[in-house]
C-alpha cells in the first residue's frame, strides 16, 4: 500500500484541495468583477470599470478575458455601429454566490476581531 502522505507533500492540490479554487476566484480583481456583475447584472465595459473604480482598462480587459475563458463571465458582442459589448456573470460564476455570502457573513462577524488581534500583535502583547 502506497504512502499517500508523500504524494500530498509533493502535490499542493492534494494537500489543499481548495487551492485551485482560491487561485481562480480570489485573484486580485476577480472577486470585485464577479460581485459587481452579480449585483448589477449585465454591463458594458465602461459601466463595469466605473463601478469597480480603481481598476485600469488594461487590467479589466485581461481579467474579463481570463474569466470568460474560465467560464465565469459571458461576453456578448452586438454588431452595431458603434459595436457594443456586454458582460454578465455566467451560471457557473453565479454558483459562487453562496460562497461570497458566507464570506460576507464571516467578515461582518470577524473582521473587527482580526483588527483587534493585529493591534495587539503590533503593540507587542
Per-domain residue ranges of the chain: 18-94
Eight-class DSSP state of 26: S
Side by side, which strands form the sheet with 43-44? 43-44, 84-89, 73-78
CA separation for the pair 43, 52 (Å, rounded):
12
- Yes or no: domain 18-94 corresponds to CATH 1.10.10.10: yes
**β-bridge pairing 73-78 and 43-44:** unpaired
Instruction: State yes or no: pLDDT of 4 exceeds 70.
Output: no
Report pTM: 0.75
Which three three-digit cell numbers place residue 91? 451560471
pLDDT at 90: 96
User: What does the pLDDT average to over 36-55?
Assistant: 94
Quick check: 44 and 86 in contact, CB under 8 A? Answer: yes
For residues 34 and 63, what is the distance between their CA atoms, to the nearest angstrom? 11
Amino acid at each position: 500500500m502506497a504512502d499517500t502522505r508523500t504524494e500530498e507533500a509533493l502535490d499542493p492540490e492534494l494537500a489543499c484541495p481548495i487551492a485551485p479554487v482560491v487561485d481562480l476566484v480570489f485573484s486580485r480583481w476577480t472577486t470585485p468583477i464577479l460581485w459587481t456583475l452579480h449585483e448589477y447584472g449585465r454591463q458594458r465595459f465602461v459601466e463595469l470599470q466605473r463601478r469597480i473604480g480603481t481598476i485600469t482598462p488594461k487590467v479589466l480587459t485581461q481579467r474579463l478575458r481570463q474569466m470568460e475563458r474560465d467560464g465565469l463571465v459571458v461576453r456578448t458582442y452586438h454588431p452595431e455601429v458603434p459595436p457594443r459589448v456586454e458582460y454578465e456573470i455566467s451560471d457557473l460564476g453565479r454558483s459562487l454566490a453562496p460562497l461570497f455570502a458566507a464570506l460576507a457573513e464571516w467578515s461582518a462577524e470577524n473582521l473587527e476581531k482580526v483588527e483587534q488581534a493585529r493591534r495587539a500583535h503590533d503593540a507587542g502583547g
